[in-house]
Structure 1
């Protein structure tokens, strides 16, 4: 254990010893000076902190210092009453020298110190601590939402967001602790008053009864010692109370207390002239000594003159510095920062024309940032993936009402919004009274029209689906992220998921990675699942399956098939409605045989080596059956045997990426399956 840490532990033990064992007067003198030194050090540190969290240990330190001072009070009381008034040199000096040997004057000084500490400083610090704790806790949700908004807007990184959230939690803990710790200061002030009264009363009793002193002599002797003890105790207590007030009333700033006071109090030099003129007038029109008022007035005027000249010089220098910054070519093109910053590619970007700025501007009622937060949470629940930060920015190269969605720097979708209109999608039966601007719903490609607000209610009554522009873009962005989820989950994102899983399933993770599977292997399996819109939220089941089959094969496509079968309940629920049959298109026996015979095994895994004309024929027949099923109003699902499911998906994904391909092993036994079409090779 370091010596510094050991010394703190030893100090706490010594405080307990002070409460029990009588101490020699020499040690008491030493501890009294230590007490004053600690109090001075605390108030100096509190004045030089820029924000309360820089002195986060203060609540605990306040308790230890208060306990130390009370231990000293017990020791000094024992010395005063038990050693016939011999309480050490320090107490005697404070009782005799500081108050001039006059017990009554010393008692008055002590009472004034107690009143200042108890009524003014301690009570004020206690109230500020209580209010600070309350407001800090009330402001936490708003601060958290602000951090989420900045994170989704790309203004801060994940690390910065984590640090800011941690700081908010620390502030709440600090002000909560200060609210309780301020009660120590209040109790200490009350204890000081009680101890002084006890010392005076019992000092008189001991002096008159045990020592046989007259009343006046006993009162003078023990009152002086008691007052000296009270002063050496209350002066450090006053410093600690002042430090408490400084810490809880301190706002975050760029400098310490001295810097802030001088900077802000002297920010207006002309006010020094006004103050100086007022003091000068007091010397002229009142009996106050002119030498005092004129001197202070002159100092204030001189100070105002020099401050005004200094401020002018600083403002000129700042203007020159700003002009230099605005001049082109200031940044050194040879510096690595000027190039490295340009290499950053955001995973997801949402750009919009200047006409759509109200979408993201909270001052104009825009809630896009809040919607992005909800999108990330929704996809975390639905897909089980951590959606990267979505960079939101305006782009003057786009049309005013146009927006663009980019994945890793490449545009994958775009759309157009009319902020003063609503998008209405027909239920299938057109209403001639609903007339608007023809458009296409961007997320699913459905025909729609932009209608004015006065037609909104009528369209809803006619069965139209009516959505506002923010909902249109939110839905589009959600579907684009789902469609490209497999591109967004890289090794780094996979490592985050693995680390999170290891917190609750450490044994399971150790069995899968780093041996036999690397993070890259796991990432490929997860990407395969996301590519077919299978949620990876149930990571324990996925890892259990990988642990079972990773020893048998390193083919990530084959392991994906095993994982899909383990997630059969989840996949069944995704496509089959409770109590309703699942309408499917099955692969004919001849097609499955052709596909199975065309599989070739290599060192890199299996792939489909099929005749191009045959593959084209199978795809065309599949598209015909899918279209026929869609016309009946049912979602198309292709069902085949587990051995060829992966190859069927590879064959048709380019032409029908939205059509799911399931195997018999991926459906729960209780589901009713109705085949409404068969894909043959002819």
Structure 2
């Protein structure tokens, strides 16, 4: 049962019990010294809290704190009175070193001086500070209670007008009620301070009379000795209690005289006194008094100089231009902005609420780090800075689902187990493995997989599985989906950035292409087409150089693409074939290729249209040939006539993405080739050529024919 309660729940009852024990149980002098020091420290802490509060309600517990501080001081008075009366005949140290120090050092050991100092402190506390604070508390409480109905009606009016929500109105009502309770409590709490001052005066009188009598009757001291011992200790005890009492009185006065401000008391006073017009009259008056012969000029004139310096320094600070602060316009609750209904991000990853912790900063944001890595990798692969991605939660998804959006259109998604690890069977897992888990499919490549506990990760790796966490699953699928769509990520802004970077060292090349004869939109369209054909634009100089030559012949988009590709043929082939090596190629039978070129034509694009069954047969045949070569073999290129390239490239992009489609004009004349098969015809008589030769060139020319 005790574990259900925190330590702070026992602090207040323990403090009350300690106060009672101080009043009724004899306390050693050493322990009494400790409590006196704690009492002074507590009073200073309360005063600092009152001065640092921006508004009175920031220290709303002050009335209760004042009550307990007063009780502590009275309990110490009772305990110290007992010690003084019982052990006072033994000397000053008998009542503790704190009382001895206040009675001997602070008043010079003269109890008469101590009595006068105590009376002065009492007058300051009761007549000045406590009486003024009590009057302010009384007036503040009366005004606050009188204004309470009006404030409540104002809150109701704002709520009815739609300026406040129900929760805001409830918070405002609670604040108004707390303010009324606070000032009402302060009106009563000020009486604690006044009563404490009167009690201190009575206790001092009791200590003096009782000590004087006990010293002479019980301990046989003379009147002088009794007065020296007991009255000195009684005055020290009274001063020890009066100093914290004065601090608490000042704290109460500070609280009730505060005006709500966004600064603490020191900042509020300093800001309002730091005006040049305040200190110039002070300097003039001090100077006038200082020139009077009878006045101490060594004090007045330096003080006047200090006031002049303050006036000058504050004047210079006031002359500085204030920083311009833009004030945000008031929010109209009935207005709907475009940002609330539209998404300006091209790529968005939506998460169910069960996956939101993947982007939590307190957990390291693993998904954000993965997505940033994917964006950097895609940028390096494509040759331009990919626009930023957005990750957000979606209530439309199930808790463990995610979805990848491109321009508002879903590209893919899946279901995750955020607290588990995905073990993927990439083909290297033994059939008799002992790993158990929730069966699923890898959302990126469709491989069999298991959701396993993180503790079983080492076991899965030993069995041949590829293990990834939930954030890596999303990042892998994001990389796969966007890697096939580079053109969709390239926009005019990205092209503009590329052109601006080239202008620094090749301004003439840019001017030869843009803005005439190609606009930014036309140039963007052309670069998108190159990206979709697998040509990165990370090295834009040769692309723009080829384009500057091509625009001298035509500005038609399709013809420009063909001319640029033909000029960049060496670059295209060099990406899949090392220098000096033979390029594995496939060709179409002459009759089949002629049928495709001279067959049906798409009226919109003017490109050949392949009959569906024939297209399926060609795609399946080429996919089969590519698969037979294995995953680690060099890529294969299909060489066709220029007119058929675009159609066959679109066909093989879906059925055999590992096969590059080139027109015969894009194949460099000096490139050695190896004809693997002729689609739609008999296999070639010579499967390979020995080296670049006249025979290679004649075979290329025969394919063109």
In structure 2, the gaps of 5 or more residues are 1-50, 75-113, 170-330, 683-705
Q: Using the alignment, how far apart are the partners of 1:672 and 1:459 within structure 2?
A: 46
Superposition deviation, residue 530 in structure 1: 2.3
Partner of 2:619: 622
Partner of 1:448: 449
Partner of 1:431: 431
Map 1:318-467 onto structure 2 (within 5 A). Answer: 325-326=164-165, 335=335, 337-338=336-337, 341-344=340-343, 346-419=345-418, 420-428=420-428, 430-433=430-433, 434-467=435-468
Partner of 1:263: 54
Partner of 1:561: 562
Q: Structure 1 356/296 Cα, relative in aligned 2: closer, same or farther at 3 Å?
A: same
Moved more, 386-395 or 303-312: 303-312
Superposition deviation, residue 523 in structure 1: 1.0
Q: Using the alignment, how far apart are the partners of 2:553 and 2:674 within structure 1?
A: 35
Map 1:202-217 onto structure 2 (within 5 A). Answer: none
Q: Structure 1 340/359 Cα, relative in aligned 2: closer, same or farther at 3 Å?
A: closer
Q: Using the alignment, how far apart are the partners of 2:409 and 2:429 within structure 1?
A: 38
After superposition, give the CA deviation of every residue in 1:77-107 in whole Å (9 maximum; x if it has no partner).
xxxxxxxxxxxxxxxxxxxxxxxxxxxxxxx
Q: Using the alignment, how far apart are the partners of 2:432 and 2:513 within structure 1?
A: 62
Q: Using the alignment, how far apart are the partners of 1:497 and 1:301 within structure 2?
A: 74
Tell me if the contact between 2:569 and 2:668 (Cα under 8 Å) persists in the aligned partners.
Answer: yes
Q: Using the alignment, how far apart are the partners of 2:630 and 2:375 within structure 1?
A: 31
Q: Using the alignment, how far apart are the partners of 1:390 and 1:515 within structure 2?
A: 33
Q: Using the alignment, how far apart are the partners of 1:306 and 1:616 within structure 2?
A: 97
Q: Structure 1 619/640 Cα, relative in aligned 2: closer, same or farther at 3 Å?
A: farther
Map 1:304-323 onto structure 2 (within 5 A). Answer: none
Tell me if the contact between 2:401 and 2:413 (Cα under 8 Å) persists in the aligned partners.
Answer: yes
Q: Using the alignment, how far apart are the partners of 1:348 and 1:507 within structure 2?
A: 35
Superposition deviation, residue 340 in structure 1: 6.6
Tell me if the contact between 2:429 and 2:465 (Cα under 8 Å) persists in the aligned partners.
Answer: no
Please say if 1:662 is aligned against 2:662: yes
Q: Structure 1 600/310 Cα, relative in aligned 2: closer, same or farther at 3 Å?
A: farther
Q: Structure 1 401/660 Cα, relative in aligned 2: closer, same or farther at 3 Å?
A: farther
Q: Structure 1 392/448 Cα, relative in aligned 2: closer, same or farther at 3 Å?
A: same
Any idea what SS the aligned residue of 2:675 has? strand
Partner of 1:181: none
Superposition deviation, residue 480 in structure 1: 1.4
Map 1:109-258 onto structure 2 (within 5 A). Answer: none
Q: Using the alignment, how far apart are the partners of 1:322 and 1:579 within structure 2?
A: 81
Tell me if the contact between 1:582 and 1:673 (Cα under 8 Å) persists in the aligned partners.
Answer: yes
Q: Structure 1 391/566 Cα, relative in aligned 2: closer, same or farther at 3 Å?
A: same
The alignment's TM-score, normalised by the length of structure 2, stands at 0.49
Any idea what SS the aligned residue of 2:371 has? helix
State the structure with more CA Rg: 2
Tell me if the contact between 1:440 and 1:446 (Cα under 8 Å) persists in the aligned partners.
Answer: yes
After superposition, give the CA deviation of every residue in 1:643-678 in whole Å (9 maximum; x if it has no partner).
243332144445555643234665678876443332
Tell me if the contact between 1:625 and 1:677 (Cα under 8 Å) persists in the aligned partners.
Answer: no
Q: Using the alignment, how far apart are the partners of 1:497 and 1:293 within structure 2?
A: 80
Q: Using the alignment, how far apart are the partners of 2:673 and 2:127 within structure 1?
A: 103
Superposition deviation, residue 417 in structure 1: 1.9
CA RMSD for the aligned pairs?
Answer: 4.7
Q: Using the alignment, how far apart are the partners of 1:646 and 1:349 within structure 2?
A: 31
Q: Using the alignment, how far apart are the partners of 1:378 and 1:304 within structure 2?
A: 68
Partner of 1:8: none
Tell me if the contact between 1:438 and 1:448 (Cα under 8 Å) persists in the aligned partners.
Answer: yes
Q: Structure 1 626/581 Cα, relative in aligned 2: closer, same or farther at 3 Å?
A: farther
Q: Using the alignment, how far apart are the partners of 2:156 and 2:480 within structure 1?
A: 50
Tell me if the contact between 1:423 and 1:469 (Cα under 8 Å) persists in the aligned partners.
Answer: no
The alignment's TM-score, normalised by the length of structure 1, stands at 0.51
In structure 1, the gaps of 5 or more residues are 1-259
Partner of 2:528: 527
Q: Using the alignment, how far apart are the partners of 2:140 and 2:509 within structure 1?
A: 69
Any idea what SS the aligned residue of 2:397 has? coil
Please say if 1:509 is aligned against 2:506: no
Q: Using the alignment, how far apart are the partners of 1:500 and 1:660 within structure 2?
A: 31
Q: Using the alignment, how far apart are the partners of 2:132 and 2:540 within structure 1?
A: 75
Q: Using the alignment, how far apart are the partners of 2:670 and 2:393 within structure 1?
A: 52
Partner of 1:639: 638
Q: Structure 1 449/273 Cα, relative in aligned 2: closer, same or farther at 3 Å?
A: closer
Larger RCO of the pair (alpha carbons < 8 Å, separation 6+):
1
Q: Structure 1 475/357 Cα, relative in aligned 2: closer, same or farther at 3 Å?
A: same
Q: Structure 1 432/487 Cα, relative in aligned 2: closer, same or farther at 3 Å?
A: same
Tell me if the contact between 1:546 and 1:559 (Cα under 8 Å) persists in the aligned partners.
Answer: yes
Any idea what SS the aligned residue of 1:524 has? helix
Partner of 1:475: 476
Any idea what SS the aligned residue of 1:607 has? coil
Superposition deviation, residue 536 in structure 1: 1.7
Map 1:19-38 onto structure 2 (within 5 A). Answer: none
Superposition deviation, residue 424 in structure 1: 1.8
Q: Structure 1 678/465 Cα, relative in aligned 2: closer, same or farther at 3 Å?
A: farther
Map 1:592-607 onto structure 2 (within 5 A). Answer: 592-597=593-598, 607=606
Any idea what SS the aligned residue of 1:608 has? coil
Tell me if the contact between 1:347 and 1:388 (Cα under 8 Å) persists in the aligned partners.
Answer: yes
Superposition deviation, residue 444 in structure 1: 2.7
After superposition, give the CA deviation of every residue in 1:381-430 in whole Å (9 maximum; x if it has no partner).
11123322322122233233221111111111112222313222233553
Tell me if the contact between 1:561 and 1:646 (Cα under 8 Å) persists in the aligned partners.
Answer: no
Q: Using the alignment, how far apart are the partners of 1:469 and 1:443 within structure 2?
A: 12
Partner of 1:184: none
Any idea what SS the aligned residue of 2:677 has? strand
After superposition, give the CA deviation of every residue in 1:520-573 in whole Å (9 maximum; x if it has no partner).
111111211222343222222222222221221112233233434555565445
After superposition, give the CA deviation of every residue in 1:307-341 in whole Å (9 maximum; x if it has no partner).
8988998997889979955469x997974x35673
Partner of 2:491: 490
Superposition deviation, residue 598 in structure 1: 5.3
Any idea what SS the aligned residue of 2:621 has? helix
Q: Structure 1 504/591 Cα, relative in aligned 2: closer, same or farther at 3 Å?
A: farther
Tell me if the contact between 1:376 and 1:387 (Cα under 8 Å) persists in the aligned partners.
Answer: yes
After superposition, give the CA deviation of every residue in 1:145-185 in whole Å (9 maximum; x if it has no partner).
xxxxxxxxxxxxxxxxxxxxxxxxxxxxxxxxxxxxxxxxx
**Count of aligned positions:** 416
Q: Structure 1 619/379 Cα, relative in aligned 2: closer, same or farther at 3 Å?
A: same
Q: Using the alignment, how far apart are the partners of 2:487 and 2:133 within structure 1?
A: 71
Tell me if the contact between 1:487 and 1:527 (Cα under 8 Å) persists in the aligned partners.
Answer: yes
Q: Using the alignment, how far apart are the partners of 1:320 and 1:284 within structure 2?
A: 57
Q: Using the alignment, how far apart are the partners of 1:379 and 1:680 within structure 2?
A: 38
Q: Using the alignment, how far apart are the partners of 1:297 and 1:404 within structure 2?
A: 68
